[in-house]
Structure 1
Amino acid sequence: MAGLPTKKKTNDFEIPSKTTSRMLKNARQVARTVDDEHALKYRNDGTLKGNPSRATDLSSISKKAKKHSGRLEERCKELTAIINRTREKMKYLKSLQKECSDLCEAYAKVMEIVDMEGATSSCITTLKNLDFFIAECLESQEVRAKRNQSLTTMKELKTKLQKYLAEPGESDMDDGLEELPDVMKSSHSKDDDPHASAFLKKKTPIKHDVQALTGLKNLGNSCYMNSTIQCLNNTLQLVNYFRSDSYRQTNCNRHHGQLVYEFAYLVKDLWSGEHLCIKPELFKAAIGRCQPKFAGSKQEDCQEFLTFLMEGLHEGLNKVKVKKQIQEQTNEGLTDEMAAEISWRDHKLNNDSILVELFQGQFKKTIMCRTCSKQIVDFETFMYLFLPIPNTTYCTLQDCLMHFSAEKSVTGNCLMPAPNCGENSDTFMKLEIWKVPQILIIVLKRFKMEGNWWTKIDAPVDIPTRDVDFSRFVIGPRPKIYNLYAVSNHSGTLSSGHYTACCRNPCNQKWYKFNDSIVQEAYEPIGKSSAAYVLYYTSMDKQSWTPSSSSEAKHTTKK
């Protein structure tokens, strides 16, 4: 965010102290040289002998030289004093510049927090710091003269912000935001798309008696991680598993065991209700050891992070420690029900964890040759439903599902394992949802490759939230009714974007926005959104939480 303009540093009036010393030294050397040369001349010529006038002349010249030397030395001292005073003024100006820079940083911080709509103690503390810097700078006439207009603007803004934070009623918030200047807008944390109006947030501070409302500090472009964690932290069945210490019954393998334990400790800390926010350093360190890609401070994709985290938790919690050799399945002569059941059974032989139970479903994949009509049917497991966005203007989630299930033609490249009609035969492939998991994670494919560059699709998608019936798009067992409980949002661009989460709290069924360390109550995300990226639906509603009777292990997560 741009701050106030600062004056460019300059050293135009500063003369190095070495220069001053050299000038003074040269002046003294000139005086001594003049005196010595005259004395030597008269001594060698012998003209001093019996010539008092010559001696008088020499004495006069020597006095004049010394006087000249003294005047030059005084001038050098005066020059040195002027230089010292100038240097002190420069230091003073630099200190004023530093104060102004601090003021700009404080101003930018307030803008960032307000833009996140964080009516919390963090915002109030920053306002106090801003008040301090304004008071410091107003004491200087020079700064007041140069910054008068900017300070006036900030004082007005400060007054509005204090009124804004005094009593955060819903109507007051809307009026206050309309009056604030455009400088509060930011592409990092606010969706400026007009279609995203349904995602407006309430500005009500969180209550400490509600669990799972703890924020996560940003460790340097780690918003992608924080958004994902908050969505999983509001997945009640997964939370119950970790808070009840059920994960300890599994003999976690060495590679992923630490990741499992750090995630468990983090969930317990987030549900303790003791802190407004915590610093997930130990968890991020464990992630970085398993996958160096997530070890640094580079912005990453939250869907890629979710995939890695879920796979790591599954491998760590998998009850199958020695994988079995599974014979390749042939489905010829089998009904879809029988083939799907065999495929799921074989999958469970090597994969048995809470992640499989809650998050995995099945696809039916059909490949058919257009020349001979031979087809192959296969059943595959999935944990995420990647849906394309069919256009760049507006669509619904149903449009995305229809586009996903449509036939894909492959021209001149046969996809059959053993083509009977030649490798250049045309084929088509169709991927259909056979079985939906208890918790369905949908990823909207907002990023696509165009040439050599990745671009973002900002088209608004109409997101259903309650009593969602996916049966129209499922060809296997009839699914239950689903409800949205968490959304991972991405706003901004690929190079300058920001991730947040909007989740329904299992304790009070209210929606909250999680913006790194800031948590605040939000409206239910009904309607169009150009920021919605990863959607979390559950069929096990209503989510309700009964406090676990087991004691929860304390951990050293930094607060």
Structure 2
Amino acid sequence: MDKTHTAEFSQTDSIDLVLRTAQDQFVVSPQEETRLWVKNAEGSFERLCNTRVSLRTASLKSGQLVVMETRSKDGTWPSQQTRAGSSATKEEEEFHGQPGICGLTNLGNTCFMNSALQCLSNVPQLTEYFLKNRYLDELNFCNPLGMKGEIAEAYADLVKQAWSGRHRSIVPNVFKTKVGHFASQFLGYQQHDSQELLSFLSWDALYHILLYRLSRYVTRPSSDDEDDGDEKADVEGGKNIPKPGNVAGGSSQDPGPEQAGPSSGVASGSRAPTDSSPGPSHWPQRTRRKHLFTLQTVNSNGTSDRSNFNEDTQAQPYIAIDWDPEMKKRYYDEVEAEGYVKHDCVGYVLKKAPVRLQECIELFTTMETLEKENPWYCPNCKQHQLATKKLDLWTLPETLIIHLKRFSYTKFSREKLDTLVEFPIRDLDFSEFVIKPQDESAPELYKYDLIAVSNHYGGLRDGHYTTFACNKDSGQWHYFDDNSVSPVTENQIESKAAYVLFYQRQDVASRLKTKTQPGQSDPPAPPAYDPISESMDVN
């Protein structure tokens, strides 16, 4: 505290009046961001978050010390630097770079969070909303079920630090703590999904920022996948397990001749052959022969070695069919089995053909028939009926977030979908999908340009998230990999790792460019979003 001033206020005066008075007394510009702290009886400081309440509501008493704090030019608060106990080097203090080109430190499996934050940070409207402090008027400190603006303020601190041009990288530990406090699924340092965090931030935490998401790209299973699923279902259902009396097609009561060999693979009956034709009388009477295959109880690992089988067969009733050891030695030749000539098709690897993003959107808006297992409940006849469903677009958002389905979970398998989705950098046209009467004189209302991509590399259990993003000031694309940032070209953006796509409507981009040009008056802003007027009925 460099200076102190004494002022008198009424109990009915607002905290905002105290803040403005302090700004006048200390000659602080209204454009500079400031906040107030009050010293309580214990000697600690408590922040006065809600400036719209009166001194009586804030429980301020006569003679209490109120401290005003001003945000630094690098986007940080002096009190945060004091609590962190870290001092910046002279090189870091003198660093001046391009605003927005700032990395995020990985705190331990937090690359998903860094990727999501870099995408949001490069949404021009959202970033300007926080840089110009317009969010302060919309923070709700009174809702007992809300977050008291803590997530929004923590995100604003990150944005202002990243776009100050004074940092090569920043540590998002405060934001990580706040998110984990209000969303327990993000507690700790486990691996998570960037899209899930984006959904939480867009809808739950930053609910006043109207970001949209265009469903998911869903691939229908191929015929091969369906056949595999049926086969697995039969095996798990026990349909392919032969009964003890009929092992591998053989019958213990079959009177036919016994023939077993490597070409047949069938164990027949146990009776000796009968022959009415004359022949040598010295033929020996054949005894009962063993089956080629046997049924055995196995452990959960599937091994049929009974010598190592120590599990409780009643608790783990696994059954496997396997060669009889003696029959395998007699009829199975491993060298011959491996000596077959491989056809070219054996080494062929099926390559998944790429799909276009436009095709995905067409499938999203295509009419589909509800299956018998998922009927529609008719409100008139009060019964479930077979019906069709179709989704249509009525209006388009300024910022469009498209989530590509990269993880497939079925009853029998889980896999990472690495199909290449070809998406345009510019001129993503939605005009053919909007059913609302269109303004043909303004085609930019229905076209989008790409501004950011969240990438996922790896598989289901582990992986890494990165980001491609276009800087709103320079127009240059950069690759964000945690605290590493490097420039890239547009040809490097499209890949199989693309997971979440961020698009900006072209009319919005034109409006933002006009605002940045000197001597230009601001064009009229679009009407405020009305959830009632822009609602859509799904038939």
Q: Normalising by structure 1, report the TM-score.
A: 0.47
Normalized per residue, the structure richer in helix is 1
Identify which of structures 1 and 2 has the higher relative contact order when contacts are C-alpha pairs closer than 8 Å and 6+ apart: 1
